[in-house]
Structure 1
Amino acid sequence: MRRVTLILALTIILILLAVTGLLLLVPSPTPSAQRPTQTTPVTTPGGVVKIGFLGPVTTTYGTIALNSIKLAVEEINNAGGILGRRIEIVVFDDQNRPDLAVTGFRKLVGEDKVVAIFGIHSSAVGLALLPLIKEAKVPVFAMGSVADDIDRQVAENATLKYWFRFNINASMHALMVTEPAKYISQKFGFSKVGLLYDQHAWTVAVIKRAKAELEKAGLQIVFEGTIDPGKMTTFVPILSKARDAGVQILLVWSAYGDGKVLQRDYYALKPPFVIIQFDVVGMGFLQWNATSGSLPYQIFAWYFFAETPDAVRFAKSYEQKYGRLMYFYPPYFMYDAVYAWKSAVERAGTFDGDAVADVLYKNGYKGVSGNWVFTRGHSPLFGPGYISTVAVQWTEDGKVVVVWPPNLATGEVKLPPWVK
């Protein structure tokens, strides 16, 4: 009887072992079976999450943008990271070329598995990336790429909700120049205006809006010229034509480094009109040396950053690490972009692109640059209390005076001696 009982027990044990073995051979559900999106962060044992920088690294503004991002990331990592993970930056130099940007975007998302991308200066680059962004579902924070057509596509297509521009759009860049120009024209009785601008996608909406604003103000456009971006060696013929057309104030929009040539030629030729310009590359104190001191009496539209405690702290931190902040596009914007992303991730409790994009659009972000409140096209609101600008005028001794708007002015507009 005991022998039978023992045999029966051994038989039951063998059956149980066999069943257990079969269960171990059955595959368990894997993450791939749950169709993860590309926004799922890839972490190392140290808990690292990657973000990308995609932009013109070798340009002055590209270097400063990247430095500002690095500064924000260092501060965040020193404070414990985001959701317990440290941030690592992967850099790709797109050289402002759409083809390189597409390659870089695919690498950052597909190989490096970044959960957010910062940078993007050129409008042509931004437009080229939109189809990729909707597929990748990775939040993108552009420092430029201001074409209004991007806003239109984002507003009309919910699958592009991952795009955010941390800069004002092209139409608002028109107002950066036309508003102080109207003020100056009224002050000195000017009525004849000239327009000079990059022959580029980003200026299409700029000039359309500028013409409408000038017409409403009763100003007559008597000259219109274009800039071949990044290729101008002289502006003397253009300035001469503007002079011969009777221009009293010339409005300029330039984004690719041609401004220093224009500014030198203007100061050397001294045509009898005022010049006011939006010059991306010339937006800072470095431009004085870049033009060998050829800036007296020239007026520039600059981004305005209130001297709040946070803004002052950022400037001091940047100076300690990289030297004095001499250029104002786009360090504040990109610094804010990183912290805005951090805020959205923490509110959402995840790095998932859909959740982060929804939270950022709904809540915005208050940073060192101002109050980021986004339109349906994911461009920030422009004006007092949001993202705002000033007009500054260079003095003969290389200083800068704010001349517009009047409530922020530190001095009066002075006509060049050669303007009668």
Structure 2
Amino acid sequence: MTWNLRYAAKAGAVAALTLGAGAATADVKVGFIGALASDAGRSTLRGAQIAIDELNEGGGVLGGQMIELVEADTGEDVTEGIKAYEYLAETAEVDFIISGSIDDVSLGWLPRMVEYQIPTLDTWTSYIGIIDKLVEDYDNFKPYFMNVASDEALATLYIDFGKDILAEKMGWKSVVILQEDTAFGGAINGLVSQLLAPEAGIEVIDTITYDVATVDFSPIFNRAVESGADFIYIISSVNSQVVSSQYVKLQVPLAMTGVNVSALGQEYWEDTGGAGGGISTLSPVPSVGFALDPASKAFADKYVALYGDSRPKFPHFNGFNAYHGIKQAFAAAEEAGEFNNSTWVTAMEKQDIVLEKDGEMWLRYGFWQPGEVEPRTGRTYPHNIKFDITAPYDDGAPSMVVIQWYEDGSNAVVYPPKYATGEFQVPSWVR
């Protein structure tokens, strides 16, 4: 594995310097951990870089200190992720870590976070099991924050979509679940399976678990069709473009919705060779097809100006999360006087960015407090982003939205109604 140092002394600085090659010593170090070859990883890295550039350009932080961004590549591998976290803690000696890791990798390095007690913000991982660790052992896990809605909130939004659109509008009453064999897949499947029948009136009649390296999905789709289900629920965060394109090319005669991570980026249409029409998926916000508030649009415009010639050409949701998360982490550090202490955690818990569009709350970057109960689920989500899963969605950001790619290559948000920019449709080959 190779690690690089990135020094952001002024806005727009993008030159990467190799560790030990004489790079200037920064006053404050931020570590990035994620897969540098993935769209999700690069989106987090770039969002963080833009925020750091702006802070440095504004005169620095904590009395004029400059911020340095240190990269550690996980390669989406658990073992490499642990090594990457150890590198940031022991060799680079960073003050704060921002993560674009997938769920399994975050679970891998999480014990290291407990050991080193470095303030860490996850911008991609949504695994509810990590938040549960804060519920069970707050003192050891309190440096950890997650500014994307956790799996349970995601599942709740899907249940609402299932009830309002799939059951009531489409008349569908049964589903077969296609689940990748990952921690993410298992978590989402468990939550959706438990709630679909009692809350949406949709019965799960079969679950098919597949390896993330699968390249031929025809037997899996055949089994799904033979199950007699009304539609397919896909749970895929790895190599999702493969299952997507094969679904379209095989003209599978069932609609397919669910969680399809490849469909979250603007490169999806190109990645599937134009064979992505009809796919709908839950997405954290901001998503493709999402109408942006002015502040989010200003960030996206800056991102496109800097990185629009390479992928991801437009920030994924975690790019927005990284941008705002860096700003919040340093605002907390200013209040606490430094990172890596209980005072910083307390200050970070109070961070709350409300973004408005047309005079109403559109997005919110705040955090659930320890012991604060979310009324619909009746449970606590300490240090998770302050999501709102109860209409009219005026107390926080929506946990997720449902987006759809149409057969002409366009995309739109189709649920919930407040954020919809288009209508849910089944593919033309599905009756």
TM-score norm. by structure 2 comes to 0.81
Residue number among 353, 360, 371 corresponding to 2:365 in the alignment: 371
Aligned partner of 2:208 in structure 1 is 225
Deviation of 1:161 after TM superposition, in Å, equals 0.3
1:61 aligns with 2:66: no
Aligned partner of 1:36 in structure 2 is none
Deviation of 1:403 after TM superposition, in Å, equals 1.7
1:212 aligns with 2:194: yes
Q: Tell me, yes or no, if the aligned pair for 1:53 and 1:90 is still in contact at 8 Å.
A: yes
Q: Tell me, yes or no, if the aligned pair for 1:336 and 1:369 is still in contact at 8 Å.
A: no
Q: Tell me, yes or no, if the aligned pair for 1:181 and 1:276 is still in contact at 8 Å.
A: no
Which residue identity does 1:143 align to in structure 2? T
1:116 aligns with 2:96: yes
Q: 1:281 to 1:401 in 2, by over 3 A?
A: closer
User: What is the CA–CA distance in structure 2 between the aligned matches of 1:296 and 1:279, rounded to whole Å?
Assistant: 13
Residues 269-288 of structure 1 deviation map (CA, whole Å, 9 limit, x = unaligned): 22222111322232022100
Aligned partner of 1:50 in structure 2 is 29
Which residue identity does 2:326 align to in structure 1? V
Deviation of 1:164 after TM superposition, in Å, equals 0.7
1:393 aligns with 2:387: no
Aligned partner of 1:382 in structure 2 is 387
Residue number among 276, 279, 283 corresponding to 2:264 in the alignment: 283
1:188 match: secondary structure: coil
Which residue identity does 2:225 align to in structure 1? R
Deviation of 1:46 after TM superposition, in Å, equals 7.1
Cα RMSD, aligned residues only: 2.2
Computing the radius of gyration over CA atoms, which structure comes out larger, 1 or 2? Answer: 1
User: What is the CA–CA distance in structure 2 between the aligned matches of 1:108 and 1:71, rounded to whole Å?
Assistant: 20
Deviation of 1:316 after TM superposition, in Å, equals 0.6
User: What is the CA–CA distance in structure 2 between the aligned matches of 1:159 and 1:191, rounded to whole Å?
Assistant: 44
Deviation of 1:291 after TM superposition, in Å, equals 0.5
Deviation of 1:142 after TM superposition, in Å, equals 1.0
Which residue identity does 2:131 align to in structure 1? D
Deviation of 1:187 after TM superposition, in Å, equals 0.1
Q: 1:197 to 1:206 in 2, by over 3 A?
A: same
Residue number among 104, 117, 122 corresponding to 2:84 in the alignment: 104
1:173 aligns with 2:154: yes
Aligned partner of 1:241 in structure 2 is 223
Which residue identity does 2:299 align to in structure 1? F
User: What is the CA–CA distance in structure 1 between the aligned matches of 2:354 and 2:417, rounded to whole Å?
Assistant: 25
Q: Show the 5 A alignment for 1:5-404.
A: 48-83=27-62, 84-157=64-137, 158-185=139-166, 186-216=168-198, 217-229=200-212, 231-257=213-239, 259-305=240-286, 307-323=292-308, 325-366=313-354, 370-376=364-370, 377-383=382-388, 384=393, 385-388=395-398, 389-404=400-415
Report which stretch shifted further, 82-91 or 150-159: 150-159
Deviation of 1:120 after TM superposition, in Å, equals 4.5
Q: Tell me, yes or no, if the aligned pair for 2:119 and 2:340 is still in contact at 8 Å.
A: no
Residues 354-384 of structure 1 deviation map (CA, whole Å, 9 limit, x = unaligned): 2211211234444695232225332223223
Residues 150-200 of structure 1 deviation map (CA, whole Å, 9 limit, x = unaligned): 111122211210011121212223234333233222101111111112211
Q: Tell me, yes or no, if the aligned pair for 1:118 and 1:141 is still in contact at 8 Å.
A: yes
User: What is the CA–CA distance in structure 2 between the aligned matches of 1:45 and 1:252, rounded to whole Å?
Assistant: 47
User: What is the CA–CA distance in structure 2 between the aligned matches of 1:121 and 1:112, rounded to whole Å?
Assistant: 19
Which residue identity does 1:172 align to in structure 2? A
Q: 1:207 to 1:310 in 2, by over 3 A?
A: same
Deviation of 1:223 after TM superposition, in Å, equals 2.2
User: What is the CA–CA distance in structure 1 between the aligned matches of 2:46 and 2:341, rounded to whole Å?
Assistant: 24
Q: 1:264 to 1:327 in 2, by over 3 A?
A: farther
Q: 1:97 to 1:298 in 2, by over 3 A?
A: closer
Q: Tell me, yes or no, if the aligned pair for 2:414 and 2:422 is still in contact at 8 Å.
A: yes
Deviation of 1:346 after TM superposition, in Å, equals 1.4
1:312 match: secondary structure: helix
User: What is the CA–CA distance in structure 2 between the aligned matches of 1:191 and 1:220, rounded to whole Å?
Assistant: 6
Q: Tell me, yes or no, if the aligned pair for 2:280 and 2:402 is still in contact at 8 Å.
A: yes
Q: 1:330 to 1:363 in 2, by over 3 A?
A: closer
Q: 1:75 to 1:108 in 2, by over 3 A?
A: same
User: What is the CA–CA distance in structure 1 between the aligned matches of 2:257 and 2:25, rounded to whole Å?
Assistant: 52
Aligned partner of 2:3 in structure 1 is none
| Contiguous gaps of at least 5 residues in structure 2 | 1-22, 356-361, 371-381
Residues 101-129 of structure 1 deviation map (CA, whole Å, 9 limit, x = unaligned): 22222221122111001114232322232
Report which stretch shifted further, 54-63 or 164-173: 164-173
User: What is the CA–CA distance in structure 2 between the aligned matches of 1:135 and 1:296, rounded to whole Å?
Assistant: 46
User: What is the CA–CA distance in structure 1 between the aligned matches of 2:86 and 2:26, rounded to whole Å?
Assistant: 23
Residues 194-227 of structure 1 deviation map (CA, whole Å, 9 limit, x = unaligned): 1112211223332222112211122111221123
Residues 225-261 of structure 1 deviation map (CA, whole Å, 9 limit, x = unaligned): 12312x121211111111111121211121112x211
Name the one with the larger helix percent: 1
Identity among equivalent pairs (%)? 25
| Contiguous gaps of at least 5 residues in structure 1 | 1-43
User: What is the CA–CA distance in structure 1 between the aligned matches of 2:411 and 2:24, rounded to whole Å?
Assistant: 51
TM-score norm. by structure 1 comes to 0.83
Q: 1:201 to 1:82 in 2, by over 3 A?
A: same
User: What is the CA–CA distance in structure 2 between the aligned matches of 1:375 and 1:169, rounded to whole Å?
Assistant: 15
Q: Tell me, yes or no, if the aligned pair for 2:351 and 2:366 is still in contact at 8 Å.
A: no
Q: Tell me, yes or no, if the aligned pair for 1:345 and 1:351 is still in contact at 8 Å.
A: yes
